[in-house]
Structure 1
Amino acid sequence: MSNAASRSPRRPRPTGRALYVGLTGGIGAGKSEVARLLAAKGAVVVSADAIAREVVAPGTEGLAAVAAEFGQQLLDADGALDRAALGRIVFTDPLRRARLEEILLPLVAAEAWARLESVPAGQVAVYDVPLLVEGQMEGMFDVVVVVEADPETRLDRLERRGLGREQALARIAAQASDAERRAVADVVLPNSGTREELARAVEELWQRLSTA
């Protein structure tokens, strides 16, 4: 496993709570696969993306705020948010994206931390969060793990998901750079290779986390 630094946790962890791990990485880097592998080993994983979908479900305060800001045309016949249409707006306009984050990030953060704080002492609680660096969240975790892949690998993965190359490049450009993520990382997991290589890196990481 390639480490940004083999540092100890960034601050003393209070007794009586779980180990808080911030897991991040650029779109297409494979962060979700690392989260899945950690969950299989026993980590409690809280997904920012999953919560972000929950806070804009039909009937929620979040959906009402998004529709008021970006327009009722973003709602389908069942009253659900057309996330693809919203993405086309915010990933081409930094000011609109910032406004969306102002609406949703507090709602996501409140729910995420409620879940993390409910994880029993002695366990590993992983917050799978794309915008860790952008939100300056690194100081909230005992360990920050960054998943990284080379640009062409990321583009290939995003194109296989159905994103056009221009859309994929716009989404990559909208996020923090690799250098910015490395600057806050305790561990960097390289993920441009095979699934087997990633699994070995995650196993090494798990050994470190489970004994921290």
Structure 2
Amino acid sequence: MSEFILAITGGVASGKSTVDALFRSHGLVVADADIAAREAVVPGSEGLAEVVAEFGMGVLDAGQLNRPAMRRRVFADPDARKKLEAIIHPRVREALRATCIAATGPYAIASIPLLAEGGGREAYPWLHRILVVDVPEPVQLVRLLQRDGIDEALARTMVAAQASRRERLAIADDVLVNDGPLDALHAQVEALDRLYRRLAT
């Protein structure tokens, strides 16, 4: 049972998933908010039933949530997005907390891409520490263009849709600057892992 819970967050193309994987390689449990969000609306779940009750049968495709259609709808309608988040976010928070508390190891990690957007510490009062994977916006845009094969206008729109770099840094206890080679990332994660093991005891 882990009593010390760390959150890892970061903007799109910041390298957060790579950092998650490096912490996993140190034997730590990483509970992923994206996976928890998908599991909250699996066929037969209360979450999916609530989504259908709110938005109608048109959000389903062969009994499953039609994610692309739902995504288009909530990006076009802020009220719809708030309603969907009110259904999914509490389930995600509870699933992350349960996984982290049940984890063996010196500490556990909740990987929450949209932590700053989703209420930060107020929404997750059980977090002990927040690590922000930070990257300068020009580097973020280059990585996004390379990773997704999209044009610059769409890349800028994706970055602008998230919390700003300043807003993410404002909730950070620790900052991992990921603007260099993978070797540098390994060293930073190892140093942070030593710190968190000390803090957990």
Shorter-chain TM-score: which interval?
Answer: 0.7 to 0.9
The residue that corresponds to 2:163 in the other structure is 176
Structure 2 letter corresponding to 1:108: V
Structure-1-length-normalised TM-score: 0.81
The residue that corresponds to 2:198 in the other structure is 211
Aligned partner of residue 192 in structure 2, secondary structure:
helix
Provide the C-alpha distance between the structure 1 equivalents of 2:183 and 2:47, rounded to a whole number of angstroms: 39
What RMSD over aligned residues (CA atoms) do the two structures have, in Å? 2.2
The answer to whether 1:46 aligns with 2:31 is yes
The answer to whether 1:155 aligns with 2:173 is no
The residue that corresponds to 2:11 in the other structure is 26
* CA offset digits 1:24-58 (Å, max 9, x no partner): 11122121111111011121111111110111111
Provide the C-alpha distance between the structure 1 equivalents of 2:153 and 2:37, rounded to a whole number of angstroms: 24
* CA offset digits 1:73-97 (Å, max 9, x no partner): 33223x2223223222223433322
Task: Flag the 1:71–1:27 CA change in 2: closer, same or farther, 3 A.
Answer: farther
Identity, % of aligned positions: 41
Residue 113 of structure 1: which of 94, 97, 121 is its match? 97
Provide the C-alpha distance between the structure 1 equivalents of 2:101 and 2:128, rounded to a whole number of angstroms: 13
Q: CA deviation at 1:203?
A: 1.4
The residue that corresponds to 1:133 in the other structure is 116
Residue 128 of structure 2: which of 142, 145, 170 is its match? 142
Aligned partner of residue 30 in structure 2, secondary structure:
strand
Structure-2-length-normalised TM-score: 0.85
Provide the C-alpha distance between the structure 2 equivalents of 1:168 and 1:90, rounded to a whole number of angstroms: 19
Structure 2 letter corresponding to 1:181: R
Task: Flag the 1:46–1:148 CA change in 2: closer, same or farther, 3 A.
Answer: same
Aligned partner of residue 103 in structure 1, secondary structure:
helix
Provide the C-alpha distance between the structure 2 equivalents of 1:194 and 1:62, rounded to a whole number of angstroms: 41
* CA offset digits 1:112-161 (Å, max 9, x no partner): 111112124x6110000122223334243222100112223333433423
Q: Count residues in correspondence.
A: 195
Provide the C-alpha distance between the structure 1 equivalents of 2:73 and 2:154, rounded to a whole number of angstroms: 11
The residue that corresponds to 1:94 in the other structure is 78
Please say if residues 2 and 100 of structure 2, whose CA atoms lie closer than 8 Å, have aligned partners that are also in contact: no
Structure having the higher helix fraction is: 2
Flag structure 2 segments of 5+ consecutive residues without an equivalent: none
